[in-house]
Amino acid sequence: MSRPLIAYIDIAAMQHNLSVVRKEAPRSSIWAVVKANGYGHGLERCARAFIEADGYALTEIEAAVHLRDLGYKKPILLLEGFFSEHELPVIAHYDLEFAVHSEEQIAMLESKVGAPRLKVHLKMNTGMNRLGFKPDQYRAAYDRLKALQSVQSISLMTHMANAEIAAHPQLAVAEQMRRFEEGAKGMDEPRSLSNSATLLLHPEIFSNWVRPGIMLYGGTPGGKTAEAFGVKPAMTLTSELIQILDIDKGEAIGYGSQYVAPHPMRIGVVACGYADGYPRSAPEGTPILVDGIRTRLVGRVSMDMITVDLTSIPDAHFGSAIVLWGDGLPIDEVAEAAGTVGYELMCALSLRPHIVER
């Protein structure tokens, strides 16, 4: 390895975060959500870190098959279900559970006479308006699935749109739950309702299965900081200073010459850019740590480099340690500065940084 850009993945932190889920939902089983390559942390790494979870949830059937091939026997849930009837034999062979959210999926199941017994999670659209049957369509979908010999079990699920907002003016959690209860009336089946935000901010809602995602990786689902929720950062992205230069008042920095020095400044160049997963949208002022001291981004983010203000850090030198996010600098703070969310920064990490477990 030559380029000094390293993403440290903290397995102990991930295990700690899972323990927080257990504490918050002691009567529930846990789907550890490991979609999108474990939110950028590595699928196999996450499967090991979350071995004490009751199952894994993801969206990619190839990833689910890979976990089975590695020997993982826990339940695995496909959160978007299947996309083609050709996937059903694979699902049956590898004993995968899956969401059903559309008329087309039910029709494909109905056409597979004599198919193996399958484990279905029937999704209700309670206002998110992505996937699922609306409450007044839910009973009919449930009855059709119940009539199929190929269906071994049915669980009931929905997804909260605004769990991090205490009283959303348009669609509050209480309204989504009212719709869910109305649509699922009389159905005595296991429920899967709570994502990270619902789990942490609405403990009054009971789920037989909870589906934590972002909190397992040390990010906040909203409402409070990750630290306030008691979760620890699992990913720390680090680099080094590769150049230091002094510039005069009135000199510009970076592409477009957008940042102009208001006074003489000391500038550091960091080996990290948008090709590594650092957000190109990060503006001047985005926080960064240099040798543990907080400073700020100046100038436009380049493909391979960013520039930072060292004026108040006189001891900074070639090779000084940089933290772009993680230990000491919450990923959500960087994301907020860049106008995005911590989820995106985790998932956008490219293949270029060297990954090190610790």
Annotated binding site for substrate: 130, 303
The CA distance from 56 to 67, in Å, is: 9
Sign of CA dihedral 236, 237, 241, 246: negative
List the structure tokens of 160. Answer: 């909260």
Which three-class secondary structure string do you get for 32-87?
Answer: EECHHHHHCCCHHHHHHHCCCCCEEEECCHHHHHHHHHCCCCCCEEECCCCCCHHH
The CA distance from 148 to 145, in Å, is: 5
Name every residue whose Cβ is closer than 8 Å to that of residue 14 and which is 6 or more positions away in sequence. Answer: 41, 46, 49, 50, 216, 217, 218, 234
The CA distance from 273 to 77, in Å, is: 35
The CA distance from 124 to 156, in Å, is: 8
The CA distance from 310 to 242, in Å, is: 13
DSSP state of 124: B
Active site residues: 35, 255
List the structure tokens of 173. Answer: 């959690």
The CA distance from 238 to 290, in Å, is: 10
Name every residue whose Cβ is closer than 8 Å to that of residue 143 and which is 6 or more positions away in sequence. Answer: none
